Amino acid sequence: TGICTFDPGFTSTGACQSSITFIDGNKGILLYRGYTVDDLAEHGDFMDSCFLLLHGELPTEEQKQCFAREVTRHTMVHEQLLRFFQGFKHDAHPMAIMVGVVGALSAFYQLSADIGDPQQREKACMRLISKMPTLAAIAYKTSIGQPIVYPRNDLSYAENFLHMMFALPSERFEVDPVMARAMEVILILHMDHEQNASTSTVRTAGSSQANPFAAIASGIAALWGPAHGGANEAVLRMLEKIGSADKIPEAIARAKNKSDPFRLMGFGHRVYKTYDPRAKIMRKVCHDVLDHLGCRSDPLLEVAMELERVALSDEYFIQRHLYPNVDFYSGITLRALGIPISMYTVLFAVARTVGWVSQWKEMAEEPVPRISRPRQMFTGHMQRPYVPVEERA
């Protein structure tokens, strides 16, 4: 109709103004509020990056303590919410459960719908950041039929998550510091990535001034797919299918074959046409964890390392700038940490919640709110006469 620009997949449409995250895909740069993710992951901790994304600056010592106290204050979930978990089929995918229960939080926090109130906005952000690990761990414990484990507020965010995932009522649980550090880095690296599919979804849902818990639930739904957050799970499922290093040439050949829909999961990125800076950090953490836990002999991890080597030296991947992405290494690291495959994307959702709420808050604070409403290129019939049923061919 000539009234809009056709941009399928929004590859060149800027849909919002944001001062949160900057990416240079050609140079492989990712900045949270001006700080490289490398520096934040190497020198900082979860609370630093979380506060930074949400409030724009790194916290002072006092702000950090206060913020950490606020995060731990909201880690519990309403006991009534536990009934939701019991209502799901026993083998439900934890992401299906997360879409449901996080959306259901909007029924527990109805005042959050008043997005014009800065205090309510702040509370909704804090509640989401605090409760996501608790909900994720409950989804897991319910799925394996174990009693749920309540949060421990003396532990760090990452340690507490591992505690809620793996502690048993009958045993004393010690958090392994290398595992906790790996978890912390995974959380920092996945926190935000500007206007990816799930974040754009959160902004779109939020632009109608929906309850923020419902807006975040829509982000979880968008994250689930294998082309986005589901990639870390898809990597492991692919490695399981490949099975052994001698099957790698066959997998590479399939990935290159244009008439075969198979793609190497964990390779390539819409924005990065060089090494994903997150993948660089994740690769190191992955190797540290494998060394620490002595699980280099895991056949699947051997397949992963060989696949990385072969793909990085293959013309097809080199020419198309297809490098291993963050999900390739986070998937392998999570396997080494003993996290079940079905929880990988849930973990991504826990981390990305920080980005989602920061972006949602930025959108909600805009002086002139504007509903997201893309146009289309119409390809259907123009107006035509109604045909009575007896005359239809």
Please pick, from the candidates 265, 290, 346, 351, the single residue that binds ligand CMC as defined by CB under 6 A.
265
Please pick, from the candidates 301, 322, 347, 354, the single residue that binds ligand CMC as defined by CB under 6 A.
322
Residue 240: what residue type? E
Q: Give the whole-angstrom CA distance, residue 361 versus residue 192.
A: 14
Stretch that binds ligand CMC, among 16-24, 28-36, 207-215, 265-273 (CB under 6 A): 265-273
Catalytic residue among 163, 193, 228, 269: 269
Q: Give the whole-angstrom CA distance, residue 306 versus residue 149.
A: 38
Which residue, 234 or 339, is less far from ligand CMC as judged by CB? Answer: 234
Q: Which residues contact 32 (CB under 8 A, 6 or more apart)?
A: 20, 21, 40, 49, 52, 53, 191, 192
Residues in the interface with ligand CMC (CB under 6 A) total 19
Q: Which residues pair with 35 in a beta bridge?
A: 32
Stretch that binds ligand CMC, among 51-59, 62-70, 142-150, 320-328 (CB under 6 A): 320-328
Positive or negative: CA dihedral 206, 64, 22, 352:
negative
Positive or negative: CA dihedral 261, 266, 268, 271:
positive
Query: Is 196 an interacting residue with respect to ligand CMC (CB under 6 A)?
Result: yes
DSSP string, 180-235: HHHHHHHHHHTS--SS-HHHHHHHHHHHTT--HHHHHHHHHHHHTSTTTTTHHHHH
Q: Which residues pair with 24 in a beta bridge?
A: 29
Please pick, from the candidates 125, 255, 290, 301, the single residue that binds ligand CMC as defined by CB under 6 A.
255
Stretch that binds ligand CMC, among 42-50, 58-66, 257-265, 381-389 (CB under 6 A): 257-265
Closest contact distance (angstroms) between CB of 23 and ligand CMC is: 10
Which residue, 86 or 259, is less far from ligand CMC as judged by CB? Answer: 259
Positive or negative: CA dihedral 171, 177, 179, 182:
positive
Please pick, from the candidates 267, 329, 356, 360, the single residue that binds ligand CMC as defined by CB under 6 A.
267
Contacts of ligand CMC in 201-230 (CB under 6 A): 227-229
Closest contact distance (angstroms) between CB of 336 and ligand CMC is: 19
Q: Give the whole-angstrom CA distance, residue 342 versus residue 389.
A: 49
- In the numeric block, the tokens 């906005």 are attached to 121
Q: Based on the residue annotation, tell me whether 269 is a catalytic residue of this protein.
A: yes
**Across the chain, where does the E strand assignment appear?**
21-24, 29-32, 35-36
Stretch that binds ligand CMC, among 82-90, 213-221, 267-275, 335-343 (CB under 6 A): 267-275
Closest contact distance (angstroms) between CB of 266 and ligand CMC is: 5
Catalytic residues: 269, 327
Binding region for ligand CMC (CB under 6 A): 193, 196, 227-229, 231, 255, 263-270, 320, 322, 325, 327
